[in-house]
Structure 1
Amino acid sequence: MLTALKQIIRRFKRDDQGTALVEMAITTPFVLLLSAGVFEFSNILNTRMLLDAGVKDAARYMARCSSDWATCSGLAKNLAVSGTITGGSARVTGWTVNQVSITKSLSTPAIDAATGTELYLSPTTNVDVVQVSTSYPYTGVGLWSYLGFGQITLTVFHQERVFGW
């Protein structure tokens, strides 16, 4: 019995016809997992960039709008979400105008406390600033949640000095 087993093992040692198949069987799951991870990460990054572009567009629009606050903010929220003032489809699936927040504040003084840099050049110390922000729960492809990391919330904000009103 033992000699027969030794003969079978010797025969497998000399035979290398199936080595490529075994190597592929071992490496394929890792390559697929890596590829899915790269795809998921690029999808997260693309979603983040679309949200950032929308928030910046809305902030620039609000900073230069010459109508009343309610009208401008409604149009700016739609601009952030769809890329147009009225109508249009969402830049990111599931992103709605209710997830966009627009606030106006008075920057006093217009100097970054951490660095001492003047944020907005102005002859006065008070500068009106509009900030547009959003939080978007990323659902994505599902690999992230499959690995057990939970849901990701992408948060984006942008502020601009007000030139209108």
Structure 2
Amino acid sequence: MTLHALYFDADRHDREIPWAQSRLPTPGERQLLWIDVEGEVQPAVAEVVERLNLGPAIQAFLETPAPQPALDHRDNHVLVNLEALEREPHRFGSTSLRIVAGQNVVITVHAAPVTFLHDFAGQLQRDSRLGELDAAAFLAVLLHRHLETYHQALGALEANH
């Protein structure tokens, strides 16, 4: 299991927050906290939910992949379930991805690597000014990246035919 907490601050330096740190920063209007959980989901999600005081409905959503894409709203949070397209040798596969966006906090949860998330995180640099985005705008960026992977896959398929 890997768990990353990235803190974007439009007025200071962006940084990764060590998960073992006793207290996570509470983002203000010009800050955004992105927590990404990959691998064994349940123990990590339980810890994230406890540390952010999110409640059982959100915990159940994060722990349980849905069989189809879904969009929901609970407890002042937007919940998105989707399948992230992953290129495998000789075919495409998918990985279930759950996203929760709340008050300047975004949580992504997936049991296997999601290429577009890794690529996006790798492109982020210190002082990215992502802290200027609220959680809804950051969610929109993630969904845009998600759709780009489908367009790229379709382009590759069309080029081979």
What TM-score does the superposition give when structure 2 sets the normalisation length? 0.30
Give the number of the structure whose residues are more often helix, by fraction. Answer: 1
Question: Greater Rg, structure 1 or structure 2?
Answer: 1
What TM-score does the superposition give when structure 1 sets the normalisation length? 0.29
Give the number of the structure whose residues are more often strand, by fraction. Answer: 2
